[in-house]
Amino acid sequence: MRVMPMRIGVIFPQFEFGNDPAAIRDYAQAAEGLGFTHIGADDHIIGPNPDRPDGWNGWVTFRTPFIEPFVLFSFMAAATHQIEFETCVLLLPQRQTVLVAKQAAGLDQLSGGRLRLGLGIGWSTVEYASLGENFHNRGKRVEEQVALLRRLWTEPHVDFQGSWHHIPDAGINPLPIQRPIPIWFGGQSEPVIRRAARIADGWMPLYPSPDQARPGLELLERCLAEAGRSRAEFGLEARLSYGKGNPEEWSHQLSAWESAGATHISLVSTNCGLATPEAHIAALRRFAQGITP
């Protein structure tokens, strides 16, 4: 048994949970009632047909259900009071930046300042093509997008001229409660780590253990130092699998990630043999009971 040492949240099991509004409400309220600090959700807008002529090996297809995260969190926010919401991750370069700024500001305003925006650049060429965005320059564009988001969230009107964006002295209204909304980056490549250390508020990799994360964490430390930033002001979120429901394993992983400097942990219940919404909600209860006295 252990007391929760970090901010411990959950990842909404998008593709295993189903789309029943009552069950989604129950999940959000159960997570909040059990003391979890945040709910995360992944982002995919469209999935390819795996039988397309040129083939498809990605795990996301047209059969993989994803509720758009701004819509999902707006629904959950209306059913809860204090639990935070995080995109993990929103694929920003395949979206219009100004529209994302508007949507995020609206969600932050209506939820009472409960949004954390985790960002990624994605991997699906079909998704980019379907949304009319350039897959090949997505890493370069995301940095300009982040700069523009922060200005739109903190200034009443913006005159912005970049390589891909032109805002002719205009602004969004309402602005978010958080000015700016925290921005974290997902991904584990060296360019992602360097980018996060320079311009993000935190990093959310997908390493299964701190031992496997060590090279990335060492690079993060060096990049933060090069950027003149302290690890103490930078967030780190890990994921912890529900696995077979073993509290001793959870406790070991929590302690290991705490020692590695994690500020947040998110419980993942997908791919653990949980076949129904009720089973996923029961897993939240078992986890919360297993790690608290």
Tell me the helices (H) and strands (E) count for the chain, helix number first. 10, 10
Cis peptide before 174 (omega within 30 of 0): yes
Tell the burial category of 21 from Cβ atoms under 10 Å away from its Cβ (0-12, 13-18, 19+): exposed
The reported pLDDT for the residue numbered 191 is: 96
Tell the burial category of 80 from Cβ atoms under 10 Å away from its Cβ (0-12, 13-18, 19+): buried
- Angle, helices 138-154/97-111, rounded to nearest 10 degrees: 50
Model's pTM, two decimal places?
Answer: 0.94
The reported pLDDT for the residue numbered 218 is: 97
Q: Look up tokens 């609206």; give the residue.
A: 106
The reported pLDDT for the residue numbered 140 is: 94
Q: Look up tokens 């040492």; give the residue.
A: 5
Q: What is the mean pLDDT of residues 228-253?
A: 95
- pLDDT greater than 60 at residue 179: yes
Q: What is the mean pLDDT of residues 222-236?
A: 95
pLDDT per residue as tens digits for the range 1-40:
334 468 999 999 999 999 999 999 999 999 999 999 999 9
